[in-house]
Amino acid sequence: METPPVPRTSSAPFLLRPLALLTMLTLLVLALGTALLTAPAAGALELRGGEDDVLVAADEVVDDDLYVTGGTVVVDGTVRGDLLVAAGTVTINGTVEGDLMAAARTVVIEGTVGDDARLAGQTLLLGEQARVADDLVTAGYSVETRPGAEIGGDVLLGAYQALLAGSVEGDLTAGAAALALAGTIGGDVQADVGSADATGAAWAPTTGVAVPRVDPGLTLTDAARLDGNLSYRSGTEAAVAPGAEIAGEVTYEQVAVEEQPVGPTGPLALLIAGLRRFVTLFLVGLLALWLLPRAVTGAAATLRARPWISLGWGALAIAGTAVAVLAVLVVSVLLAAALGWLTLAGLAAAVVTTAVVIDLVLVLGLVLAVALLAPVVVGLTAGGLVLRDRAPARFGRRVLALALGLLLYVLLRAVPFLGPVVALLVALLGVGALVVWAWDAARRSRARRRAERDREAGREHGADTGPWPTDAQPAGAGQADAGRIPPGPSQQPRPPWSGGGSGRQGPTEPPR
């Protein structure tokens, strides 16, 4: 018997709930993969990777757990243990007697999985011959089980769309914008789905597997058979075909989605977006001029003096950060796998945690530099050129230069086709100027500390043997002038960074 709908008002758009469930499932898959990597090894394992195509032939039997990376991974044979795979495309035609953990753009199962299957990717497909003995956990854009596919346990699903035409012996828990049931569900069904009147996705990933079209909301076709209860939450009622069979009760909880206010369009929208960008960057610039005046003005001076070098170093810094993030991830995964094989689970977990923190810091730093600091540096430089004051000394003058430069930047960003080019050039120039200034500042700091150490050493020697010779005092005069007043400031040797004199330093030993 169907219960009447229960109205409910949500303060957030309802489609955020499937997205939250999708995020939770993705984190679950990653956590399970990390747990497998860091678990103590009861036996041996086999590692394969470093190739575009990895094949487990039909007559091949892997007696241990198998960890695989590659562009395309095909398993036609038998894996006696667990299979952990990360690739562009994964196809399972053979048998995996243990668990299957796969993260790929496309995952296709046409064979048998003896235990649980945990899948993450864009397109996930269980074909007509697919057999999963226990639970199925999926997170992706499109999930499909075709007629004939069998799942022996429960299904936990998070996706934009899902079409389940196979059989599930256990319960189904799903979060999706579009969900269609066209097979047999042996247990209960609990689902959070979108509204039937919602707009479908404007794009679909391009893969080698055909992606089915699933209408938004919950749909039960004539072939749907539910042996348990159906409980779902949506903005609209499910579309239930006359031939669908539901043995238990149907509970529908209506979720009233608050309509988002329609913002302005046309030139007014561009004006508001530009004003927001200007205010954000101007406030960030004021904060930077207050807290980091040397860094901002120094980077602006570097950009004025060496624009082409700044452009090149900006491209290298952005590309290098991306490569570093990927390298840290790959090295940590390989190292964690090796440590797990050596039964050093605690150390492996520490390696993974450290790698995640490093990657987060690198990505956050790059985003802040590109989106905020780079426009501030370039804006201050451009504003100084407009004011014909290349290096404003007073704070008020710097603020005025910053405002003029950012206003020019915002206006150029609003020009169609030209805006993305301006944003790219500003990001490269600003990041590059910051990198070059930081490198020069580090070099000057090292030279200053080295000179300070040399000067302290000179004072210690001079206290015992007399004053050191300088350019105005010939060598050997130290003993003759012992006890006299030391040379005045004009006779003292100047450090190399002062720009005056020959830049020579005193001898390493006192004169004899």
CB under 8 Å to 417, separation ≥6 — which residues? none
Residue 90's identity, in one-letter code, is: V
Are 210 and 306 contained in the same domain? no
Instruction: List, in sequence order, the alpha helices (H) in 369-417.
Output: 374-386, 395-413
Instruction: List, in sequence order, the alpha helices (H) in 369-509.
Output: 374-386, 395-413, 418-465, 477-480
Angle between helices 418-465 and 307-341 (to 10 degrees): 80
Q: Within its chain, how far is the Cα of 454 from the centroid?
A: 46
Assigned domain for 469 exists: no
Are 252 and 279 contained in the same domain? no
Residue 239's identity, in one-letter code, is: A
CB under 8 Å to 512, separation ≥6 — which residues? none
Please give the DSSP secondary-structure letter assigned to residue 143: E
Full residue range of the structural domain in which residue 382 is found: 269-443
Kindly report the CA angle at 167 between 165 and 171, in degrees rounded to 5?
110
Residue pointed to by tokens 């090292």: 446
Q: Which two tokens stand for residue 248?
A: 């238990």
Q: Does residue 511 surpass a pLDDT of 90?
A: no
Residue 242's identity, in one-letter code, is: P
Q: What is the pLDDT of residue 395?
A: 85
Are 285 and 238 contained in the same domain? no
Task: Report the pLDDT averaged over residues 435-455.
Answer: 89
Are 373 and 224 contained in the same domain? no
Assigned domain for 512 exists: no
Are 191 and 95 contained in the same domain? yes
Assigned domain for 191 exists: yes
CA distance 494 to 478: 19
Q: Which two tokens stand for residue 480?
A: 């003759």
Are 73 and 172 contained in the same domain? yes
Q: What is the pLDDT of residue 51?
A: 65
pLDDT digits (tens, 9 = 90+) for 113-146: 999 999 988 899 999 999 999 999 998 889 999 9
3-state secondary structure of 45: strand
Are 242 and 327 contained in the same domain? no
Work out the pLDDT band at 21, boundaries 50, 70, 90.
very low
Assigned domain for 200 exists: yes
Number of domains in the chain: 2
Q: Does residue 494 surpass a pLDDT of 80?
A: no
Are 409 and 303 contained in the same domain? yes
Assigned domain for 62 exists: yes
Q: Tally the residues of the chain.
A: 512
Query: Which has the minimum average pLDDT: 55-64, 241-250, 438-447, 465-474?
Result: 465-474
What is the reported pTM?
0.53
Sign for the pseudo-dihedral over CA of 358, 360, 361, 366: positive
Are the C-beta atoms of 469 and 511 separated by less than 8 Å? yes
Q: Which residue has the higher pLDDT, 486 or 456?
A: 456
Task: Report the pLDDT averaged over residues 162-177.
Answer: 94
Q: What is the pLDDT of residue 13?
A: 38
Q: Of 212, 229, 256, which marks where a domain is finished?
A: 256
Burial class of residue 88 in the structure, from the number of CB atoms within 10 Å of its CB (0-12 exposed, 13-18 middle, 19+ buried): middle
Are 142 and 194 contained in the same domain? yes
Are 281 and 350 contained in the same domain? yes
Are 250 and 294 contained in the same domain? no
Task: Report the pLDDT averaged over residues 16-21.
Answer: 44
Q: Does residue 196 surpass a pLDDT of 90?
A: no
Work out the pLDDT band at 162, boundaries 50, 70, 90.
very high
Buried b (16+ CB within 10 A) or exposed e, 285-312: bbebbeeeeebbbbbbbbbbebeeebbe
Q: What is the pLDDT of residue 506?
A: 43
Q: What is the pLDDT of residue 95?
A: 95
Burial class of residue 485 in the structure, from the number of CB atoms within 10 Å of its CB (0-12 exposed, 13-18 middle, 19+ buried): exposed
Task: Report the pLDDT averaged over residues 388-416.
Answer: 85
Kindly report the CA angle at 244 between 240 and 249, in degrees rounded to 5?
80
Count CB atoms within 10 A of the CB of residue 382: 22
CA distance 352 to 330: 10
Kindly report the CA angle at 181 between 180 and 184, in degrees rounded to 5?
165
Q: Which two tokens stand for residue 442?
A: 């580090």
pLDDT digits (tens, 9 = 90+) for 268-307: 777 888 888 889 999 998 998 888 888 888 888 898 899 8
Are 273 and 128 contained in the same domain? no
CA distance 189 to 170: 9
